């Protein structure tokens, strides 16, 4: 497995990580704990060292799953988690990044993850009621106490990133980035490149769509977030099939799969971008890992750029309320 470095303080991780949310949350009922533990072990054996979770996934149960499964591997793995929501009676009830709440959240995460220090701690969503300087200051204190190694932000804007970075250097920004979600290329990616911050790309396969197995006839289980996303309406799925057709063309040419081309495209954008596709299936895990061997040439990348520029993506990634508050 190739390695990549996030940020200026040398956080080295596998070139592809594993997003663990879907094992417990977001895509229908939670998966079987034994099966997911076996999958996490297989990921380590296949060379993945970078695992992503959050206290709100479940809530709490995803951190517990990841903590239990990865405990035998100790410091051979890097676990990222996130704070930033109020959780009451097992439900997310709002955003909260008050410094005292951050410190409470970290104590809970340390216990659930069965670690003495959190490798990478993200603010899950920006809290409009708390200055980002206070958030960065709270994490700086936790780093000084030896409870956190690296500070990250998720879905933050350019000015917020700059303000946070001035207080406590930001190692990584986690934001959605894929062939059909590219709005961060305008301002965010140039900003983090200037500051030396890595990008952790979540949903690099477009919540599964770019793998080419979802079409207008697909049905989603109760509890699957895609049931309510504008980009996953039946009409949108039909319209967005053009992007899958494009991926399929290159997949055939390279003896790869559409998912591998989509991930290879993300990897090719910058050497400090690390995609974290999620899966609950061993064959998908192996398929995703195989993307690191698909090196798209400059000519192929330009062909993809020219062709994809002609494709209009139908549907927004979230509705307005979800854009403000979602932890996905």
Check: CB of residue 289 under 8 Å from CB of residue 259: no
> For residues 161 and 111, what is the distance between their CA atoms, to the nearest angstrom?
29
> For residues 142 and 138, what is the distance between their CA atoms, to the nearest angstrom?
6
Check: CB of residue 33 under 8 Å from CB of residue 53: no
> For residues 271 and 229, what is the distance between their CA atoms, to the nearest angstrom?
31
> For residues 248 and 108, what is the distance between their CA atoms, to the nearest angstrom?
44
User: In the structure encoding, which two tokens stand for residue 259, read together?
Assistant: 């998912």
In degrees, to the nearest 5, what angle opens at C-alpha 328 toward C-alphas 132 and 38? 120
- Residue of 154, 164, 204, 150 lying closest to 317 (CA atoms): 204
Q: Please tell me which residue in 57, 122, 202, 318 is annotated as part of the active site.
A: 57
- Tell whether omega for the bond before 293 is within 30 degrees of 0, i.e. cis: no
In degrees, to the nearest 5, what angle opens at C-alpha 112 toward C-alphas 62 and 165? 85
> For residues 250 and 57, what is the distance between their CA atoms, to the nearest angstrom?
35
In SS3 terms, 311-325 reads as: CCCCCCCCCHHHHHH
> For residues 152 and 139, what is the distance between their CA atoms, to the nearest angstrom?
9
User: In the structure encoding, which two tokens stand for residue 3, read together?
Assistant: 């390695």
Residue 286 half-sphere exposure toward CB, CA atoms < 13 A = 4
Active site residue 57: yes
| Residues catalogued as catalytic | 57
């Amino acid at each position: 497995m190739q390695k990549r470095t996030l940020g200026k303080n040398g956080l080295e991780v596998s070139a592809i990580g594993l997003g663990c949310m879907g094992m417990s949350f977001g895509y229908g009922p939670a998966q079987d704990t034994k099966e997911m533990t076996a999958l996490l072990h297989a990921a380590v054996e296949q060379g993945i060292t970078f695992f992503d979770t959050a206290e709100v996934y479940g809530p709490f149960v995803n951190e517990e799953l990841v903590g239990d499964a990865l405990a035998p591997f100790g410091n051979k793995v890097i676990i990222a988690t996130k704070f930033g929501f109020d959780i009451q009676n097992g439900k997310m009830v709002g955003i909260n990044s008050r410094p005292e709440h951050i410190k409470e959240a970290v104590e809970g995460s340390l216990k659930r993850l069965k670690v003495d220090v959190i490798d990478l701690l993200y603010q899950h969503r920006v809290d409009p009621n708390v200055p980002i300087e206070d958030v960065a200051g709270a994490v700086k204190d936790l780093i000084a106490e030896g409870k956190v190694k690296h500070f990250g932000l998720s879905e933050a804007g350019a000015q917020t990133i700059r303000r946070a970075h001035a207080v406590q250097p930001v190692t990584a920004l986690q934001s959605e980035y894929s062939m059909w979600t590219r709005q961060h290329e305008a301002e965010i990616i140039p900003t983090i490149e200037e500051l030396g911050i890595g990008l952790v790309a979540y949903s690099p396969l477009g919540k599964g769509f770019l793998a080419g197995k979802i079409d207008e006839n697909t049905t989603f289980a109760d509890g699957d977030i895609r049931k309510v996303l504008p980009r996953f309406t039946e009409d949108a799925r039909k319209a967005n099939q053009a992007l899958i057709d494009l991926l399929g063309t290159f997949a055939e040419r390279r003896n790869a799969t559409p998912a591998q081309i989509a991930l290879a495209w993300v990897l090719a954008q910058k050497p400090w971008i690390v995609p974290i596709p999620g899966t609950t299936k061993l064959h998908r895990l192996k398929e995703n890992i195989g993307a690191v061997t698909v090196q798209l040439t400059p000519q192929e990348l330009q062909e993809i750029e020219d062709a994809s520029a002609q494709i209009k993506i139908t549907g927004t990634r979230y509705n307005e309320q979800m854009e403000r508050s979602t932890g996905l």
